[in-house]
Chain A
Amino acid sequence: MHEWSLAEGIYQAILEFAKNHDVKKVLEVEIKVGELMQLDLDLMKEAILMLAQGSVMEEAEIKLTVEKAAFSCEKCGHEWNFEVAKKEIEQRVSKDKLIKDDSGSLDLPLHYIPGLVYALATCPKCGSSNILVVRGRDIKIQKITVEK
């Protein structure tokens, strides 16, 4: 249910923006979600819309898109994707480190704290920890379209 707390964060950030810029109506919100976080986009959208009821963003179109994660190795130059990284991370994270939510589902800690990827992933080719998450790590509000 982490999606609900993030939805609240998004809602509050947009409300504050609207207040500071005399916005009459929020028409569209574009949100980029890093693949690493493994968020349920339908649930997030539902949560944002529910929170937005009765506010300036009540009728806003919420566009959530997943940014595919990409990794590269600073030591050997190898590049790989989240599918490859996830397999390794799942092997590395012991069961007692998985976070159990209210519904009973178990999530990788990355779901909450994506920066942990640097502790959990290594280069699949040379094994180095000197890796870079090129993209797809965090969640960000990309664009807001408003009516003043």
Chain B
Amino acid sequence: MRTSPSLELAEKKLRDIANIILVGSGKGGVGKTVISSAIALSLARMKFKTGILDADLHGPSLHKILDCRFPAKSGARGIIPCTVHGLKFMSIAFFVDEYTPLPIKGDAKASLVRDLFAQTDWGELDYLVVDLPPGTGDEVLSALTLFSSKGGTVIVSTPSLLAISVVERLINLLEREGVSIIGLIENMAYIYHNSEKLYLFKSSAAEILSKKYGIDLLGTLPLDPGVEEAIIKGGTPLNSKLFAEEFQSIVYKIVEKTS
């Protein structure tokens, strides 16, 4: 039997969420959080009721991208999430000061992801986007177990061949855990120079993995300094025209594959 009431609460909250999109990568630094936020923001723009959970317990950064004020209140259905750009948003960052280290240990990581989700008043959602931490540690396993019944995964990679084996570990873990894969996104694949795409790598890890595992390549995205500029100015990644244009078709594919 379930001995933790928190698990039961999580199950109850899951019943009110139609789709969960887990955004993962084998390694850090591939732009996974920017992509998670862009997926959620795009879905909200399309009038889907959308939430986003930052499950990166050691290095949360979504709150920097989404820039919102946490209400620090709870009601009958749990902690009230931050509401920003039409999204409901929860993160561990809301409970600790900005520069406090987050040396969360083993099984506490698993229960923390579950509690962050279960104790939040998400209400009814069409989509919950979960920004997974890099790698395949406790919190990733916990999220896969918790969300697999409603979820599929979007895998983010860079074109670098060095990324292949790391991403493959994640693909194999997802297969082992029975979590469906929505598709791959290749980030930082090219830059724009005089309106032309200049590809930074001779190879494409995502193309190789797509062929090897039969996973859809949802799209490739540029290395776009405009994304960071937009965030620093208080906007979102979608305020960068180049990024937003490329991203639109990716989100349409995600919606098509999850509806």
Which residues of A pack against B, CB within 8 Å?
1-2, 4-10, 12-14, 16-17, 20, 92-94, 96-102, 107, 109, 112-120, 129-130, 132-133, 137-142, 144
Contact of B1 among A92, A99, A107, A141 (CB under 8 A): A141
Q: B111 within 8 Å of A by Cβ?
A: yes
A-B contact pairs, 24 of them (CB 8 A): A2-B74, A4-B76, A5-B9, A9-B5, A10-B5, A12-B5, A17-B1, A17-B2, A92-B97, A93-B95, A94-B97, A96-B72, A98-B72, A100-B72, A101-B75, A112-B79, A112-B115, A113-B95, A118-B104, A119-B95, A119-B101, A129-B103, A132-B105, A141-B1
Which among B5, B100, B104, B109 has the greatest number of chain A C-beta atoms within 10 A?
Answer: B5
Q: Could you list which residues of chain B lie within 8 angstroms of chain A, going by C-beta atoms?
A: 1-9, 11-12, 72-79, 92, 94-97, 100-105, 108-109, 111-112, 115-116, 119
Q: Are B103 and A118 in contact (CB under 8 A)?
A: yes
Return the contact of B72 from the options A99, A115, A119, A144 (Cβ within 8 A).
A99
Question: Which residues from chain B contact A100 at a C-beta distance below 8 Å?
Answer: 72-74
Q: Are A117 and B74 in contact (CB under 8 A)?
A: no
Contact A119 B100 (CB under 8 A): yes
Tell me whether A12 and B8 are in contact in the complex, defined as CB-CB below 8 angstroms, given that A97-B94, A100-B72 are known contacts. Answer: yes
Task: Tell me which of B9, B78, B116 has the highest count of chain A C-beta atoms within 10 A of its own C-beta.
Answer: B9
Residues of A within 8 A of B95 (CB): 93, 97, 109, 113, 116, 119
> Are B1 and A16 closer than 8 Å at their CB atoms?
yes
Q: Which residue of A lies closest to B12 (CB)?
A: A12
Shortest 3 CB-CB distances between A and B: which pairs?
A9-B5, A115-B112, A9-B8
**Bound CA–CA A129/B109 (angstroms):** 15
Complex-state Cα separation, A10 to B7, whole angstroms? 10
B-side contacts of A8, CB under 8 Å:
5, 8-9, 12
Chain B residue at minimum C-beta to C-beta distance from A18: B1
Report whether B101 and A13 are in contact in the complex, using a CB–CB cutoff of 8 Å: no
Distance A115 CA – B9 CA, assembled complex (angstroms): 16
Is A112 in contact with B76, judged by CB distance below 8 angstroms? no
Determine the distance from Cα of A8 to Cα of B9 in the docked complex, in whole angstroms: 8
For the complex, give the distance between the alpha carbons of A132 and B106 in Å. 10
Give the complex CA separation of A94 and B109 in angstroms: 23
Complex contact A118–B2 (CB within 8 A): no
The answer for the CA separation of A51 and B100 in the assembled complex, in Å, is 40
Known: A1-B76, A5-B78, A119-B96. A113 touches B112 (CB 8 A): yes
A116-B112, A133-B108, A141-B1 given; 19 more Cβ-contact pairs under 8 Å: A4-B76, A5-B77, A8-B8, A9-B5, A9-B7, A13-B2, A13-B4, A16-B1, A16-B2, A92-B100, A112-B74, A112-B79, A113-B119, A115-B112, A119-B96, A119-B101, A119-B103, A120-B100, A132-B105
